Structure formats: C-alpha cells, structure tokens
A and B are shown apart, each in its own frame.
Chain A
Amino acid sequence: MSGSRERDSRVARIDAAIRVIPDFPKPGILFRDVTTLLLDHQAFKDSIDIFVERYKDLKIDVVAGIEARGFIFGPPVALAIGAKFVPIRKPRKLPGEVISEEYTLEYGTDCIEMHVGAIQSGERVLIVDDLIATGGTLQAAIKLIERVGAEVVECALLVGLTDLKGHLKLGGKPVFVLVEYEGA
C-alpha cells in the first residue's frame, strides 16, 4: 500500500478521537465510543478515505453495514466506491421479506436479518461495522451473505480488540481493522 507513513498519521488522529468509557455496558468493560470520532470532521473523513482507498479497485458490489453503527460508516464508503448499501438489522425492523441468522450471546441468542433480494448470488460484498469483539455478529453476517450465494471479500472495522481473538471466529475471512486495542 502506498503512502503508509501518511496513513499512519491519519490513524493516530483517528485513534485519539475515539473515547474510552469504562464500565459500559457493564462493570469491567472498556467501551470504545466512536461518537467522538464523528465530532472530528477531518478524522471521520480520514477513516472513510482509508477504507475507500483500500476497496475502490476491488470490484465491490455491495457494502453491508451492521445496525446501528455500521450504518454510519458503511454508506459513505458505498457511495464513494459505487456500491449498493445493504443494512443488516435486528429482528422485525426490516419491512419486507427477510432472511435471518441466529447467533449466540454470552447468555442466550440474538438474530440479524437482511432483505430477500438485496444481495444477489455471486456479488462481492464488504461488511462494515464500527467494532469487532468476539466476532459473533460478524460471523452471523458472513453466514447470511454466503447463504444467498454472495462472496464476503473482507470485513472492515474501525476498532478491533485483539485480546478477544475475534478473528479466529471468522473462518478465514479477511478482517481489516483501522485501530487495534488490547484488553477487554
């Protein structure tokens, strides 16, 4: 990748703009809050530009964004690279016919859904979300997309928590993380 030094300085600013909130949603968790990144126009723009530079020549047909913070980062990337944007949502939010995929939580299960017909068989898909932790939601999204016969080219995240070894759950699908952190 050309200009790696330039990319490094943008990443430092992006990293600095992300706020850490202790004990959210529960004690012991250090929550990475990207809303403060969105208040820094240049850093927000840089984060999108880095994704666009990476994906614009990869013939991506679809950017799939995971509700809700994936809706913030996915559409600007989709618009810049000429791709469709497809929202992947919590249950009962999408009005039309859906396909859904269940996934396991620490306690119990949850479900994500996508509209039937939004993604066609054979299309090349980029999944975007703000953060990967255990990778459970992302893995469910990969399964959904593969079930309709499309190809997940990569998963792109603003933030990755390396300690949680989330990458191992994604079954060999490449994961690109802009800012990595250690610790839960």
Chain B
Amino acid sequence: MSATRDGDPRVPRINAAIRIVPDFPKPGILFRDVTTLLLDHQAFKDSIDIFVERYKEQKIDVVAGIEARGFIFGPPVALAIGAKFVPMRKPRKLPGEVVSEEYTLEYGTDRIEMHVGAVQPGERALIIDDLIATGGTLRAAINLLERVGAQVVECACVIGLSDLKGQEKLGGRPLFILVECEDS
C-alpha cells in the first residue's frame, strides 16, 4: 500500500493501522479493514482531524455517511464542522418517508435510501465513507443528493483502491482520499 497524502506525517500511522484481510468477502479480494484503525485512538483522531481541517472553512451544511462504516467517520466530522449528519441507508432501515436510488452490483442491483426532508435544496454536502472501490455506492449517493437539489462539494474516503478507478464513476465530482492502496 502506498501511504502518502501530500506528505502529511499523520498518514503513515493511519495507513499502518489499517489491516488487510485476504480472501474476504471472497477468494482473491484483499479486504481493507478499518476496524483496526479504530483501536488506535491517536490514528483514528488524526483521520478525523485531517478531514475537519480540509472542510471546516468550506461552509458544508450536511455530512452524508454511507451505511455502515460511513456512520463511524461521518458524525465526528459533522460535529466538528457544525454540519448536520444524514445517514444513507440500505433499504427498509429508515422509518420515515424516503427517496431511494438503485445502483448496479457485479451481479444484480442494490439501493440506498435517505429520508425525505433531511437535505434541503441548495445545501452543500460532503459524502463520507470508509472506502471507495468501484465507486458505485458513492455515485448512487451523489445522485440521491443531487436529486433533492443539494450540491455535492466532495466525496471523502479513508481508503481508495486506485486500481479500480472509482473516481471515474463520480462524473467529475471531487474525491479526497486519505490512504491510496493498489488493489492487488
């Protein structure tokens, strides 16, 4: 795994704290496990601090976090920058009226949902997840937010799998990655 994010001295420790689990969820995949980052308080704090430093002056109204690991990183950022937090969830989890967006998987499709009224037209949104792979889920999240009239300022992920070219799916919306990894 490459480590540097503009030479920030905190990034190597964040990188080192992320564990690779081979053959999960299926043979041949090297799964990047952020749960070990969460066991290193300083490294976890540093990852949040880097996001906060980047976004606190950007007038972000909403941090949208993608279920479930986006729920771990999104709220601390939202709290620090004075933004709302909006969970983007798998189907049938949110209790109120929802808007939903379908997206393609390797086999079949999935959906993500957001509560109606959580995000207002014109609001500036930051999307956070732990990892971007193909970018399909992030693209669905962007579509949902734009459908309700929000402006997606950036997508932020702790880990990016550069080989999978997820950024290409984002249609030009900016992407910020803390730790770049090669997929193989």
Interface, chain A (partner B; CB < 8 A): 19, 21, 24-25, 31, 33, 35, 38-41, 44-45, 48, 67-69, 71-73, 75-76, 78-79, 82-87, 89, 92-96, 115, 118
B19 within 8 A of A: yes
Residues of A within 8 A of B82 (CB): 41
Residues from chain A with Cβ under 8 Å of B67 in the complex: 68
The distance from the CB of B75 to the nearest CB of chain A, in whole angstroms, is 5
Interface residues as binary, B86-99 with A (CB distance below 8 Å gives 1, 0 otherwise):
11010011111000
- Of A21, A68, A72, A79, the residue contacting B41 (CB under 8 A) is A79
Q: Which single member of B25, B40, B75 contacts A95 (CB below 8 Å)?
A: B25
> Which 3 pairs across A and B sit closest by C-beta, in order of nearness?
A71-B71, A95-B21, A95-B24
Asked if B10 is at the interface (CB within 8 A of a chain A CB), the reply is no
* Closest Cβ–Cβ distance, residue A35 to chain B (whole Å): 6
How many Å lie between the Cα of A40 and that of B79 in the bound state? Answer: 10
A21, A79, A86: the one contacting B96 at CB < 8 Å is: A21
B79 touches A48 (CB 8 A): yes
Instruction: Return chain A residues, CB-CB under 8 Å to B68.
Output: 67-68, 71, 87, 89, 93
Bound together, the chains give a CA A68 to CA B96 distance in angstroms of: 17
- Say whether A86 contacts B35, CB under 8 Å: yes
Would you give the shortest CB distance from B34 to chain A, in whole angstroms? 9
Give every chain B residue within 8 A of A72 (Cβ-Cβ).
65, 71, 75, 85, 87
Question: What chain B residues lie within 8 Å of A75 (beta carbons)?
Answer: 38, 44, 72-73, 75-76
In the bound complex, CA of A89 to CA of B118 (Å): 26
Q: Tell whether A44 pairs with B39 under 8 Å between CB atoms, given A79-B44, A93-B68, A95-B25.
A: no
Q: Is B84 an interface residue, CB under 8 A from the partner?
A: yes
Query: Using Cβ atoms and an 8 Å threshold, which residues of chain A touch B31?
Result: 95
Asked if B146 is at the interface of the complex by the 8 Å CB criterion, the answer is no
* B84 and A41 contact, CB distance less than 8 A: yes
Chain B 47-62 interface residues, beta-carbon cutoff 8 Å to A: 48
Q: Is the interface of B mostly helix, strand, loop or mixed?
A: mixed
Number of contacting residues on B, CB 8 A?
A: 39
Ordered by A's residue number, 6 sampled pairs between the chains whose C-beta atoms are within 8 Å are A21-B96, A35-B87, A44-B75, A72-B75, A86-B39, A95-B31
Would you give the shortest CB distance from B110 to chain A, in whole angstroms?
A: 15
Given contacts A75-B75, A79-B44, A85-B38, contact A96 B85 (CB under 8 A): no
User: Residue B125 at the A interface, CB < 8 A?
Assistant: no
A69 proximity list for chain B (CB < 8 A): 71
Distance between A61 CB and nearest chain B CB, rounded to angstroms: 10
Q: Which residues does chain A contribute within 8 Å of B76, judged by CB atoms?
A: 75-76, 79
* Cα separation A93 to B35 with both chains bound (whole Å): 11
Other A-B pairs beyond A44-B75, A84-B41, A96-B21, 18, CB < 8 Å: A33-B96, A39-B84, A39-B86, A44-B78, A68-B87, A68-B89, A68-B93, A72-B71, A75-B38, A75-B75, A79-B44, A85-B38, A85-B44, A86-B38, A87-B38, A95-B24, A96-B35, A118-B35
Residues of A within 8 A of B13 (CB): none
Most buried by A among B73, B79, B92: B79
Q: Give the complex CA separation of A82 and B19 in angstroms.
A: 21
**Complex: A115 Cα to B94 Cα, angstroms:** 27
CB-based contact B21/A82 at 8 Å: no
Is B115's beta carbon under 8 Å from chain A?
yes
- In-complex Cβ contact of A35 among B48, B78, B94 (8 A): B94
Say yes or no for B112: interface residue by CB 8 A criterion.
no
